[in-house]
Chains A and B, each alone.
Chain A
Amino acid sequence: MSDLLVVEDLTVTFSTARGPVDVVKDVSFTVGRDETVGIVGESGSGKSMTSLAIMGLLPKGAAARGTIRLDGTDVLGASPRELRQLRGDRMSMIFQDPLSSLNPYYTVGLQIEELYRAHRGGSRAAAREVVVGALRQVGLPDPERRAGHYPHQFSGGQRQRIMIAMALVCSPSLLIADEPTTALDVTVQAQILRLLADLREQSGMGMVFITHDLAVISSIATRVLVMRRGEQVEYGTAEQVFAEPRHDYTRMLLDSIPRIDDPLDEVSA
């Protein structure tokens, strides 16, 4: 079976006053159906730009070259219309800050409903049923009533659940999660990670999980891409990257993270 997502020699270039700047350089990886690929890197590594390029959501002044194929469809060569048909339907994305990612002026139900109807059509009433089902699936209590509430009426974790419900309402084959748990408390993070892993497994979709947190990546990804300053530093199975890192930068990153279980050193006098 062919890969779900193929990214080959992806380069993202920003045109600036001082000339073009490559923020992503020759990045290549694949995502199979039914697996999670983690992209990890520090700020400025180009990991978010990579994900925006896949979604065709690069900001003004940025251009992507190379190849991005989703299930055989050429994403970089797609017309704006074709791209719109892919987004939300065959590939979806969730973001770091769920509060600012939801429009404060509309109920969460409407925001999920409009995505569903944009791709599947049908009556509002029919879409409503689907919306409530999607909210129930992500574990939001009392979904019938809560669908009529506004984003500010939810907690941070609930808002991310709502974003996930929205992203998955059309059952896409690819989900891109860009730092989805970074803004959340650690206990809530654990719940959202479990939810994402469960939903991915149930639906058999592919997931690209972007984070700066190596420990989070290790708990969710089967393969890992390490990025630094727009370049691909290391790419392999999670086990290989974490147990036998080949690159100095990966080793340095792994050495930097504070461990919760290591023996205490001289600090605790």
Chain B
Amino acid sequence: MSEIQATPQVTSAESGPDWQRVYRLMLTIRLFEERANDLYQRKIMPGLAHLSSGEEGVAVGVCTALRDDDYITSTHRGHGHCLAKGASADRMFAELLGKAAGYCGGKGGSMHIADQERGNLGANAIVGGSLGIATGAALSIKQRGSDQVAVSFIGDGALGQGVLYEVMNMASLWKLPIIYVCENNLYGEYTASSETIAGRPIERATAFGIPATEVDGQDVRAVYAATAEAVARARSGGGPAFLWCSTYRYFGHHVGDVDRGYYRSREEEQFWREQRDPISLARVWLEADGLVDAASLEELAEEVTHELDAAVEFAVAAPFPNPDQVATDVFA
């Protein structure tokens, strides 16, 4: 049986990713979600919006350890994964608004953004719905003799889906290059995961012989390090891994979930925002390690803000799809 792995540690001094870029990506996601929220509140964005603010450390930490040609599958709370894998904000906003210039021509929307050029096989509005797809992509990688890897982002709610245990079993049996990244944001919709998950979650992976690691999802360095280790093992034929990343969603389950008092307290929300914010935490050690100074971070924030405002402007001005598109793309 596979052991539960100790969380690997890295310091910023180590040769690793470009931490400034990491910080910038997290900030991009944060400001993207703020704008998505705003567009939704102003009724410019139709449908549903599940925001990932607070969870940036997981998306960016994981995707920073991936190559462009590695695959990911994402969830209904997937804007961050998509941006972290390299999607551009303008076409993402366009998709959120149902515009023709969106990544899916406006046919997918917030919950279904796919960006095949960067290996993003799509977000999924069924909890655990993309586990089969990601594991199948890993089977494809193995059959093709490639050294790509696949990552399946799931939330703690997906632990309730039987398909997770089916695919983990096959991934372990066949040593498939897949990493299951579970974002434990403590709530499945409006119910605390403590009410829905029995036992120790990562033992569900180790039971299949899959190495599993508990990761502080608010520390992007820890997420990156754990992912990099799992990716290196998977690329060299070592099989799957499971990362259990503790994190928190600042907004409700969706934008309309405003009165949250019946399932979580303001104090708890305040604690995570003030004490455990992945961007603030990164900023502290980036400055402490002398990798950035306050002035350059201000400059960077201004740059990202400008970029995202321009992206929103592009999306708002972009035309809707032509009605003749309604019946295209049903069959390939």
Pair from one complex: no
Q: A residues within 8 Å of B by Cβ?
A: none
